[in-house]
């Protein structure tokens, strides 16, 4: 602690030396010329409408990917925005990897910009910086100057509730990306099982539907040389242990509640349950170990990183593996197909829904140094226009200098085929992120769905019948007191259960150790941990009736 505060005070002093003078000048005279991140002078603008009669400048901190231009104004999206608004943004841009650290230094210096775009404020940060007077509540700005965002909140009260802190204020502008809803939401299942359909066909096997059939298929993959090279180089089953998208938890639902990346499921009587303390988890561990004993699991499944996993995937060495979208591992081809969830010992198949959402609470915040609140709010509101949101999220059209994500046809954005280009990379280079909303009702009207998302949504639809639970665990907003306790407990529980999961699947022992494990979790405070979750869940539902 001492070391950190010393470092901070040195940095603080240095930054005051450099920028102190300019900051003072800025505040007293409203003059420009400041080189720091300090805010803009009061332009005394009211009843703002775009384009502005005279160009003015706001200073905003943002972050972007390594392949993005250093100056965000070199992006076509921002060039067009400046033309349309006559508002110039003086960006202070950090790369994503450095943003956290640079942002903290900047906030500690007290040398505040007008706003943060792609702010990366956690719930905890929002409450802390609001309390310290660094950022301001925005609910009145939404009401008065942000008709686009207000309309979204009016039509979808769940998003208004989502954006509201436990103290009743809103401190940020959200990112909302709808792709499917309810059980068909694109985040409904993160790790899907993909099976090598060429191997199944070659060996004359059917798609497995039970855990017994599944095991027989894996054994055939192991022994019958389905890739036909005369070597025993097939990997029947691979995954990355303790990983949300590439983990094997998709299989565990055969034994009861199943499991997901945050090990939290909600039963149909609204009880929040920790999956890793459920009896079904023990059975799943036992079964996984029996597969491992038979040499059916990739020995690297317990250690490998993404690069190793993908290298084997690209070589088509997997019989069955797990990931978010097979395009990223074995390519956009017909070699692998979704494998439906398996029926377990009681003859039933179940799939635990994942608690993922296309939601980010804080994609922008306004600082207390901002003297042009109406102007800033109206500019942020433009981001919530459907065509603007779609471009900010994915990329733009009509750029003569590089590949485009869209073409603009009759005032609608149409996704272009990307060929061999990785969608993530092109999006990162040309989109701007920030606060925005893409609602299901826009698809087919203002914008088309990305092809990869459309394919994933088709797979999700096939999985819906297996999702027994009516509820997911929502994106709750904890108070900082709750959050402190939650973080402390999680730091004990997560590494312990991660470690036992690896041990039990790779070396066995779950039956012998299960009761001691439950006792250990009890000692660590699992009960309190789940109480915090349950209370937040109950509050969320009573606020969202």
Contacting residues toward Ca ion, per CB under 5 A: 225, 227, 229, 231, 233
Least separation in angstroms between residue 198's CB and Ca ion is 13
Q: How far is it, in rounded angstroms, from Cα 218 to Cα 335?
A: 17
| Tokens representing residue 312 in the block | 């084997």
Least separation in angstroms between residue 230's CB and Ca ion is 7
Least separation in angstroms between residue 295's CB and Ca ion is 14
- SS3 category, 196: strand
Buried b (16+ CB within 10 A) or exposed e, 164-201: bbbeebbbbbbbbbbbbeebbbbbbbbbbbbbbebbbe
Least separation in angstroms between residue 233's CB and Ca ion is 5
Least separation in angstroms between residue 222's CB and Ca ion is 10
Comparing CB distances to Ca ion, the nearer of 319 and 435 is 319
Comparing CB distances to Ca ion, the nearer of 199 and 274 is 199
Beta strands in 286-352 (DSSP E): 318-323, 336-338
Q: In what order do the strands lie in the sheet with 192-196?
A: 235-237, 318-323, 192-196, 336-338
Comparing CB distances to Ca ion, the nearer of 221 and 394 is 221
Comparing CB distances to Ca ion, the nearer of 57 and 224 is 224
Q: How far is it, in rounded angstroms, from Cα 262 to Cα 259?
A: 8
Comparing CB distances to Ca ion, the nearer of 169 and 335 is 335
HSE-CB of 509 using CA atoms within 13 angstroms: 11
Comparing CB distances to Ca ion, the nearer of 234 and 360 is 234
Comparing CB distances to Ca ion, the nearer of 312 and 378 is 312
Comparing CB distances to Ca ion, the nearer of 198 and 451 is 198
Comparing CB distances to Ca ion, the nearer of 196 and 392 is 196
Task: Give, in order, the Cα–Cα distances in Å from 148 to each of 317, 501, 544.
Answer: 50, 47, 22
Q: How far is it, in rounded angstroms, from Cα 175 to Cα 362?
A: 7
Least separation in angstroms between residue 239's CB and Ca ion is 20
Q: Are 171 and 126 in contact (CB under 8 A)?
A: yes
Cα dihedral: 179, 185, 189, 193 (round 10): -70
Strands 272-274 and 264-266: antiparallel
Least separation in angstroms between residue 235's CB and Ca ion is 10
Cα dihedral: 158, 162, 167, 170 (round 10): -100
Least separation in angstroms between residue 505's CB and Ca ion is 25
Q: Which residue's structure tokens are 């990897």? A: 97
Q: How far is it, in rounded angstroms, from Cα 264 to Cα 2?
A: 37
Q: Which residue's structure tokens are 């404020």? A: 121
HSE-CB of 325 using CA atoms within 13 angstroms: 17
Comparing CB distances to Ca ion, the nearer of 183 and 222 is 222
Q: Are 195 and 149 in contact (CB under 8 A)?
A: no
Sign (positive or negative) of CA dihedral 165, 439, 352, 493? negative
Least separation in angstroms between residue 229's CB and Ca ion is 5
Least separation in angstroms between residue 228's CB and Ca ion is 7
Cis upstream peptide for 51 (omega within 30°) = yes
Least separation in angstroms between residue 224's CB and Ca ion is 9
Comparing CB distances to Ca ion, the nearer of 106 and 235 is 235
């Amino acid at each position: 602690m001492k070391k950190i505060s010393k470092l901070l005070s040195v940095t603080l002093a240095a930054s005051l030396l450099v920028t102190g003078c300019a900051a003072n000048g800025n505040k007293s005279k409203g003059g420009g010329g400041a080189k720091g991140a300090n805010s803009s002078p009061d332009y005394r603008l009211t009843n703002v409408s775009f384009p502005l009669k005279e160009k003015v400048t706001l200073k905003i901190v943002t972050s972007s990917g390594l392949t993005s231009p250093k100056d965000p104004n070199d992006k076509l999206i921002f060039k067009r925005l400046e033309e349309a608004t006559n508002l110039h943004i003086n960006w202070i841009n950090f790369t994503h990897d450095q943003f956290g650290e640079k942002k903290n230094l900047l906030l500690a210096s007290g040398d505040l910009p007008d706003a943060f775009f792609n702010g990366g404020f956690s719930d905890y940060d929002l409450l802390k910086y609001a309390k310290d007077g660094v950022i301001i509540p925005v609910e009145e700005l939404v009401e008065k100057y942000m008709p686009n965002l207000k309309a979204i909140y009016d039509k979808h009260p769940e998003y208004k509730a989502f954006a509201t802190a436990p103290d009743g204020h809103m401190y940020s502008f959200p990112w909302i990306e709808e792709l499917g809803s309810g059980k068909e939401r694109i985040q409904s299942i993160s790790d899907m099982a993909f099976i090598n359909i060429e191997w199944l066909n070659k060996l004359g096997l059917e798609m497995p539907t039970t855990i017994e059939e599944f095991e027989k298929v894996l054994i055939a993959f192991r022994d019958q040389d389905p890739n036909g090279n005369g070597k025993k180089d097939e990997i029947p089953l691979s995954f990355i242990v303790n990983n949300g998208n590439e983990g094997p938890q998709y299989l565990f639902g055969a034994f009861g509640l199943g499991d997901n990346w945050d090990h939290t499921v909600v039963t149909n009587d609204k009880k929040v349950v920790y999956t890793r303390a459920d009896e079904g988890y023990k059975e799943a561990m036992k079964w996984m170990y029996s597969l491992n004993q038979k040499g059916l699991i990739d020995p690297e499944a317990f250690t490998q990183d993404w690069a190793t996993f993908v290298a084997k995937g690209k070589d088509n060495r997997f019989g069955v593996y797990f990931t978010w979208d097979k395009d990223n591992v074995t390519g956009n081809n017909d070699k692998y197909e979704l494998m439906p969830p398996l029926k377990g010992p009681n003859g039933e198949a179940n799939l635990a829904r994942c608690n993922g959402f296309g939601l980010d609470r804080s994609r922008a915040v306004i600082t207390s140094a901002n003297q042009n609140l109406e102007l800033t709010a109206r500019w942020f509101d433009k981001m919530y226009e459907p065509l603007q949101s779609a471009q900010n999220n994915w990329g733009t059209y009509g750029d003569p200098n590089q590949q485009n994500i869209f073409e603009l046809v009759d005032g609608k954005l149409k996704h272009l085929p990307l060929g061999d280009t990785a969608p993530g990379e092109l999006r990162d280079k040309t989109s701007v992120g920030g606060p925005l909303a893409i609602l299901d009702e826009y698809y087919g009207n203002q914008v088309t769905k990305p092809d990869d998302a459309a394919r994933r949504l088709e797979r999700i639809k096939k999985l819906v019948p297996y999702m027994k639970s009516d509820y997911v665990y929502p994106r709750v907003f904890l108070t900082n007191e709750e959050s402190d306790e939650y973080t402390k407990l999680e730091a004990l529980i997560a590494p312990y259960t991660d470690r036992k999961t690896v041990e039990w699947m790779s070396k066995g022992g779950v039956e012998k150790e299960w009761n001691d494990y439950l006792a250990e979790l009890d000692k660590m405070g699992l009960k309190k941990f789940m109480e915090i979750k349950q209370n937040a869940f109950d509050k969320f539902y009573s606020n969202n009736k």
